[in-house]
Structure 1
Amino acid sequence: MASVMIIIKQLFLFLLLTSFNGVIEAAPQGSLVTHLPGFNGSFPSKHYSGYISIGESPQKNLFYYFVVSERNPLKDPVVLWLNGGPGCSSFDGFVYEHGPFNFEEGKPKGNLPRLHLNPFSWSKVSNIIYLDSPAGVGFSYWKNSSQHITGDVETASDTHTFLLQWFKQFPEFLPNPFYISGESYAGIYVPTLASQVVKGIKNHAKPIINFKGYMVGNGVTDESFDGNALVPFAHGMGLISDNIYKKVEATCKGNYYDSQENSCLLSLGLVFEAISGLNVYDILEPCYYDMGTEQKDKVGNKSNLPQSFQQLGATERPLGVRKRMFGRAWPMGAPVRDGIVQLWPQIAEKISIPCVDDEVATLWLNQEAVRKAIHAEPESVTGPWMLCTRGIRYNHDAGSMIPYHRNLTLQGYRALIFSGDHDMCVPFTGTQAWTASLGYKILNEWRAWVTNAQVAGYLQRYENDLTFLTVKGAGHTVPEYKPQEALQFYSRWLDGKPI
C-alpha cells in the first residue's frame, strides 16, 4: 500500500509540474517570452530567452533564445545552434534559416516586419537554443570591460560554462539527447565546444550533459583543405574553362591558396576574373554588386538607382527578406589562418564585398519593443544589434579541426557534415576531401538522398557514425535556401533514421 501511495504522489507531482505542452515548469519564468512584435497569434510551443552570466573579471553575459520543441519536448533532442563569422549573431539562423517564424518585410519600407509561422522550423522536431557567442556578439556583452579579446579556445570554454549554467536553469532537459550544431565559422566553434563538453563529462562536471553528437554546415575546417577547394569547385561547376584549369594545375601544382610563384598567381587571376561577378554564397542567386566609386558619385545612394537595379538583389524565395547577405564566412580563396582574424565589418571597410546587408533582422532586433519582449538589455548596454560585430578581437588559436573530428568520432560521437553544393565561400569540394582524409571505411558509397520523390542531394556514410551530405542547389546557409530539405535531413538524422 505504501508503495502505491508513493507512486500516486510522484504522478501527482509530475502532473503539477507539467505544463499543457509537456514541459516541466522548472524553467525560470522570468525568461518566458509571451509575445513578439510583428506576430499575431499563439506560439506553437514555449519560448524562453535571457542572459546567463559567466566569469567575474570581466563578467560575460551570454544571450540565448530557447525554442521548445513542438513535437515532444521531454524526449526530443536539445540542439545548440551557433552562427559563424567569427562574430556573427545566431539570430541569423533564427530570422533567416530555421527559426519558428518567417519574416516578411514591412510595408511601407521601414515598418516592423510581419512574422508568420515557419512550417520548416527546426523546432518542429527538436528543442533548440540560439546562442549569441562569444561575448560582444549580438545581444551578448562584456560588463565593465573595453577589452573584447577572445579566440577559439576561450570561446569553447565559455560556451561550455554557459551550457552547464543553462542546464541548471532548465534541468528538465538534462535527460534529453544533446547535440551541437552550426555553420560557417562554427565549423571551428562546434568541434572545439564538443571537445570541451566531452572533457567536462570525463571530469564529472555537473550537471552531466547527455551529449550525443554534432552537425556542421559549410564549415571552416582546415587551412589547406579549405584553401584548395575553390579551383576544383569552379571547374566542376563550369565556371572556368578546361584551359584555365589546366594552366592553374600546371603552375600551382595543387597549391592554390599559398603559392608565391608569379606564374601561379597569374593563373589564379584568370580564375578570380571569371568568378568575380557571382554571388559568393550561392552561385545560382543574383546579388547586388558594387558599381565603383565613380558611378556611385553619379547616382548617389541605391534608392536613386533605376528600379531594375534596385531589384537586382531579390531572390526567388517567397518572402524576400534577404535582399543581400552580410558575410558569415571567409572570403573566397582566402582560408582562415592561425592568429587574429579580421571580422567582416573590418574587411568591408577595405574591400567591396558582394551581397551585404541584412535589413529586416537589423530593423526588427533594434526595436525597443522587441528587446523588451525577448529580455535583451537596452541599446545603452549592448550597443545596437548587428549581424556581425566589429567590437571584438578574435584569435584563431585552435588550428585545424581535423584532429578534433577524428578524436570525437573515434570516441563514439555522431557527426553529420553537410554542404550546400552551390556555396563558393566554403565549397563542398574541400569538405568532401577532408572527411575522406580521415581514412574511415565507407559504409554507404556515394548515393542520392530523396525528399518528395526528388533527389535532394548526395551523401556518403563512413564508419564511426560520420556522414558527409550535400544539399542540391543550396548555398552557404543551407536551411535558408532549402528549408524543406534541411528539415528532412535534420529530423531523420536526429531520430537515427536513414537519410
Structure 2
Amino acid sequence: MAGKEEKETMVSKGFVMLLLGVLIIMVRISNDNIAVVEAAPQGAQVTSLPGFSGKFASSHYAGYVTVNEEHGRSLYYYFVTSQNDPVSDPLVLWLNGGPGCSSFDGFVYEHGPFNFIPGKGSKDMPTLVRNPYTWAKVANMLYVDSPAGVGYSYSNNSDDYSTGDISTASDSHAFLLKWFKDYPEFLSNPLYISGESYAGVYVPTLTQEIVKGIESGIKPALNLKGYMVGNGVTDTEFDGNALVPFVYGMGLISIDLYKDTILTCKGNYWNATDSDCISKLDAIDQDVQNLNIYDILEPCYHSSTTTEAEKSKKVLPKSFRKLGKTDRPLPVRRRMFGRAWPLRSPVKDGLVPNWYKLSDEQSVPCLDTHVADVWLNNASVRQALHALPEKTIGRWLICTDQITYNHDAGSMIPIHRSLTGKGYRAIIYSGDHDLCVPFTGSEAWTRSLGYKVIDRWRPWLAGGGQVAGYTTSYDNNLTFATVKGSGHTVPEYKPEEALALFQRWIAKTPL
C-alpha cells in the first residue's frame, strides 16, 4: 500500500515538473528582465520600432488573425506584455470607437507604451519615448483594429465592409478564440474588455458574445472577469437627453433658456419634432457651436485656418499641462466635431454615418492626427509592425472612410444589466468635460439599473491627494466614476489620473 502511494506521489511530482517545464518554455525572462512569449507565432515579436532607441520595457507582438477563411477577413492586433508581471497580470483588450476608428488611436495618443514627439517638419517622423503612464505598467494590453476595414484590418471581400454591431462582436469573439490558440499561456490570466466612445457598444456586445461562448462550452474557455467603458455610447434616449442638462450645468447656457427648454421640450430633446422645442435647441446650438465638444475646456483646432507658419511655431495653449518632471511630448489633440452636432445626432438604430460622409473634408473634421498619420503610413514602420503594405490594403486612417456601419444591437442597457447580474465586474467612467457623450447620460443610465448603492457619491483622489474625480459604487460589481477636467478620451487628457483609476480597478481596490 505504501509503495502504491509512493508511486502515485512520484507521478504527481513528475506531472507538476512537466507543467513547470512547459511554463518555463512558454514564458521565459530574458537577460533584460523582460518576459518573452516563446509560444507566440513565429515572426510575431516586434523587436524595434522606427523612432525609438533603447530597449522596450516589455515584450511586444503584432500581426493578423483571420476570422473568416472564406473571405480572407483578418483583424490586426498589437500586443504589449505587462511591464510588471505578465504571467499573472490581467489581459486587457482595447477598442477605440467611431464606429470605424483604429485602436492605434489609443496606442499612440492615450495609454500605449510610448509618447510620440512630433518631428520638426510636416513629413518628419516622430521620436518615441517611454510613456510613464502606459496601462502596460500593470496589464497585458491587446490593441485590436475592429471591424475589418478599420486601421490595418482588412478583407479580401469588399462586401465585408458593410457591417454592424452584431457582426463586429461576432468577429471580435472569433478573433479572441483564435488569438488565444496562438498565445495559450495567457488563457489563465484574468480577461477584461475595454474601450471608449462608440466602443460603448463594441465592449458590451463583445463581452456578451464571450459570455455566451463560455456558457455554451466553446473552447478555449476564456477567463473573463469584466469590462470597462469610457465616455461610451449606450442608449439613444439617455445619451440624447443628457446634453441639455450638461451644457446648463457647465454654465454654457442661461438659466432662462434652460428652464424654457425644459418646459417646451418636456425633458425630451433627442428626437424633437415640435417647432417651439426645436427653436430652443437652435438657440442652445448657437450658444455652444464654437466649443470643442470633445473637451469644452480646450481650444478648437481649425485646420483650414491654420497657416504653415503657425504650425511650425508649435505654440501650445497654457491649458496643456506638464506631467511630473517631463513635458507632455505630444499636446492633446485639438478637436471640435465628432460625427455631427450631438444635440441633433445621438446614435440611433440603423446606419451610422462615418466622419467623411458628414463632411466635405478628406480627414476627420477638426481632428489633428498628423503624428499618427506620418508614423503609421511609413513603410518601415508598417514592416516593423508586421502590417501589410499600403499598396495592398491602403493607407492607415485614424477613422476609415470605407465601411458602412449599422447600429443594429439597440440599447446597451439590457446587456449591461445581464452582464452585471451574472457577476461580471464593470466600470463606467467619464471625462466630465466631454460634450460628445457627457457624463450626465452615463450617470443617469447606470443609476437607472436600480442597483443598491454600496459606496455613495464621493471624491476619489490621485496625484498627491488631489481630487481626481467622483465615484459611486453599486451592487453587482458596478462602478461609475468621473475624471475631473477630462475630455472624451480620458487617458489622453488626464493620463496620470487614468492610470490610477485603471490600476485600482484592475486590482479590485476601491477608488
Shorter-chain TM-score bucket reads over 0.9
Displacement of 1:332: 1.8
How does 1:156-235 map onto structure 2 within 5 Å? 156-235=169-248
**Structure-2 separation of matches of 1:308 and 1:28:** 43
Matched, 1:363 2:367: no
CA offsets per residue over residues 353-379 of structure 1, 9 Å max, x none?
863230000100000000000100001
The one-letter code matched in structure 2 to 1:319 is: P
Q: Distance in 2 between matches of 1:120 and 1:328?
A: 26
> What is the SS of the residue equivalent to 2:220?
coil
Determine whether 1:103 maps to 2:116: yes
**CA distance 1:435–1:11, shift in 2 (3 Å):** closer
Q: Who is 2:440 aligned against?
A: 429
- Conserved? CA contact 1:182–1:215, under 8 Å: yes
Q: Structure 1 residues 386, 448: CA separation in 2 closer, same or farther (over 3 Å shift)?
A: same
Residue number in structure 1 paired with 2:155: 142
Match of 2:334 among 314, 324, 328: 324
Given the two structures, how large is their TM-score scaled by the length of structure 2? 0.91
Structure 1 residues 119 and 111, CA, compared in 2 at 3 Å: closer, same or farther? same
1:174–1:13 distance in 2 versus 1, CA, 3 Å: closer
**Residue 472 (structure 1) aligned with residue 484 (structure 2):** yes
Q: Deviations over 1:141-181 (max 9, x none)?
A: 01143551100000000000000000000000000000000
Q: Using a 3 Å threshold, how does the CA distance of structure 1 residues 162 and 357 change in structure 2: closer, same or farther?
A: same
Q: Is the 8 A contact 1:174 1:210 kept in 2?
A: yes
Q: Which residue of 1 aligns with 2:104?
A: 91
Alignment of structure 1 residues 31-430 onto 2, 5 Å: 31-145=44-158, 147-289=160-302, 302-303=306-307, 316-317=320-321, 318-325=328-335, 331-333=341-343, 334-349=345-360, 355-430=366-441
How far did residue 348 of structure 1 move?
A: 2.1
Q: CA deviation at 1:307?
A: 7.2
Q: 1:324 corresponds to which letter in structure 2?
A: R
- Cα distance, 1:229–1:387 mapped onto 2, change above 3 Å: same
Q: Deviations over 1:64-101 (max 9, x none)?
A: 00000010101100000000000000000000000000
- Give 1:303 shift: 2.5
Does the aligned pair in 1 maintain the 2:102–2:398 contact within 8 Å? yes
Conserved? CA contact 1:222–1:401, under 8 Å: yes
What amino acid maps onto 1:466 in structure 2? L
Matched residues in 1 for 2:20 and 2:160: separation?
51
Superimposed CA distance per residue, residues 239-269 of structure 1 (whole angstroms, 9 cap, x where no aligned partner): 1110110111111110112111111111111
Structure 1, gaps ≥5 residues long: 291-295
Q: Taking structure 1 as reference, are residues 19 and 331 closer, same or farther at Cα in structure 2, changes over 3 Å only? A: farther
2-side partners of 1:373 and 1:31: how far apart?
Answer: 10
How far does residue 111 in structure 1 lie from its aligned partner after superposition? Answer: 1.0
Residue 201 of structure 1 and its aligned partner are, at CA, apart by 0.4
SS at match of 1:19: strand
Tell me the residue number matched to 1:496.
508
- Answer yes or no: is 1:19 the counterpart of 2:31: no
Q: CA deviation at 1:24?
A: 4.7
TM-score (norm 1): 0.94
**Matched AA of 1:335:** P
Q: State the partner residue of 1:293.
A: none
Check the 8 A contact 2:332/2:493 in 1, yes or no. Answer: no
Matching residue's letter, 1:69 = S
Q: Is the 8 A contact 2:339 2:358 kept in 1?
A: no
Distance, in Å, in 2 between the alignment partners of 1:190 and 1:16 is: 33
User: Residues 260 and 109 (structure 1 numbering): CA distance in 2 closer, same or farther, change over 3 Å?
Assistant: same
Give the whole-Å Cα distance in 2 for the aligned partners of 1:163 and 1:352.
Answer: 31
SS state of the match for residue 155, structure 2? strand
Counterpart Cα distance in 1 of 2:154 and 2:447 = 39
Q: Deviations over 1:313-354 (max 9, x none)?
A: 896152235443486666421101111110012212289986
* Structure 1 letter corresponding to 2:491: P
Which residue number corresponds to residue 325 of structure 2?
none
Secondary structure of the structure 1 residue equivalent to 2:445: helix
Give the Cα–Cα distance (whole angstroms) in 2 for the partners of residues 353 and 95 of structure 1: 17
Per the alignment, do residues 288 and 442 of structure 1 end up closer, same or farther by CA in structure 2, a change over 3 Å counting? same
Matched to 1:223, the amino acid is: T
Give the share of equivalent positions with the same residue, in percent.
54
Gaps of 5+ in 2: 1-5, 322-327
Q: What's the CA shift for 1:391?
A: 0.5
- 2:395 is paired with a residue whose SS is coil
TM-superposed CA distance for 1:109, in Å, is 3.5
Distance 2:360 2:493 in 1: 28
Matched to 1:358, the amino acid is: T
Cα RMSD over matched residues?
2.2
CA-to-aligned-CA distance 1:271-319 (integer Å, 9 cap, x gap): 11111111110001111247xxxxx7xxxx6335767998588961522
Measured in 1, the distance between the counterparts of 2:404 and 2:90 equals 33
Query: Equivalents in 1 of 2:280, 2:363: separation in Å?
Result: 22
- 2:324 aligns with none
- CA distance, structure 1, for counterparts of residue 71 and residue 339 of structure 2: 28
How many residues were matched structurally? Answer: 490
Equivalent residue letter for 2:489: T
One-letter amino acid of the counterpart of residue 487, structure 2: G
Alpha-carbon distance in structure 2 between the residues aligned to 1:150 and 1:190? 16
Are 2:471 and 1:462 equivalent residues in the alignment?
no
- Relative to structure 1, the CA distance from residue 12 to residue 228 in structure 2 (aligned partners, 3 Å threshold; closer, same or farther) is closer
Q: Which residue of 2 aligns with 1:449?
A: 460
SS at match of 1:364: helix
